[in-house]
Amino acid sequence: MADEIDYEIIGNDMQIVEIELDPEEAVQAEAGAMAYMGPGIQMQTSMGNEGSGLFGGLKKGLKRALTGESFFITSFVQKGSGKGHVAFAAPYPGKIIPLDLTKFGGGLLCQKDSFLCAARGVEIEVAFTRKLGVGFFGGEGFILQRLKGDGLAFLHIGGTVIRKDLAVGETYRVDTGCVAAFTETVTYDITWSKNFKNALFGGEGVVLATLTGPGTVYMQSLPFSRLADRIFAASAFGNREEQNGVAGTGILGGLIGGDRSF
């Protein structure tokens, strides 16, 4: 069973989750997520969850590396007396949401950038989607992380959090980057945009993720890939304006706005 941990989420847009641990309780996170920790907290780095063994841990570490995540998982254990505290910070603007996996059938699939930390005992695995089309056309959707267990997990969702509880057969079509997490009862697939002209010249994706219920879906208004594109477009290495679609409107928009440095 997973450790029963207490927590407090601090802040509004750039949030931190502070975890309170009793002696010998632990929380696990990807390498580099920790913001601060109090006295008595010790870090223990491994390739997988406890009990996986050397081969099992190596296999899980290699799978995580395929997603662009750290090869290692770091556990933060309270070795002192009394209460211990360790905090994890959101990497970009958004919300940190706590999810009790027992309320989602003991499992949840999430984007590789969404997972922040979880109580010790929660399994953090890599889930490959079944269809190759998802990988070739879905971008972030090809490799997902699976969280399994009966404890608390914390996800970071970019921008605003949108939760949809889908009925049986109910389907939403979503930009692939805006899909943050969903229960394992949800069917996930990729479909082509029916209006190819709108996709080509309107700046929207040619393919969309389709999520079909029953189950719960968490969506995000600001996926990290979109934020990174905007930052790059505004930097000295990118265009002065965002260019949408094949034709693009950035240069024309800049000229209309009085910027003649093109």
- pLDDT for the residue 252: 42
What is the rounded distance in angstroms from the CA atom of residue 96 to the CA atom of residue 101?
15
Q: What is the pLDDT of residues 192-246, one digit of tens each?
A: 666 555 555 545 556 678 999 999 999 999 877 777 777 777 776 655 554 444 4
Do 67 and 127 meet the contact criterion of CB atoms below 8 Å apart? no
- Counting residues of the chain whose pLDDT is more than 70, the rounded percentage is 67
The amino acid at residue 105 is G
pTM tops 0.85, yes or no: no
User: Any bridge partners for residue 86, and if so which?
Assistant: 19, 37
Which CATH superfamily groups domain 6-235?
Mitochondrial biogenesis AIM24 (3.60.160.10)
The pLDDT tens digits for 25-49 are 999 987 788 999 999 999 988 765 5
Q: Give just the sign of the alpha carbon dihedral 205, 210, 211, 213.
A: positive
Task: Dig out the tokens for 112 from the structure.
Answer: 């590789």
Segment 120-139 shows an average pLDDT of: 64
Residues contacting 234, CB < 8 A, separation 6+: 240
* pLDDT at 90 (0 to 100): 84
CB atoms closer than 10 angstroms to residue 213? 20
* Cα-based distances in Å from 212 to 47, 128, 165, 179: 34, 18, 10, 13
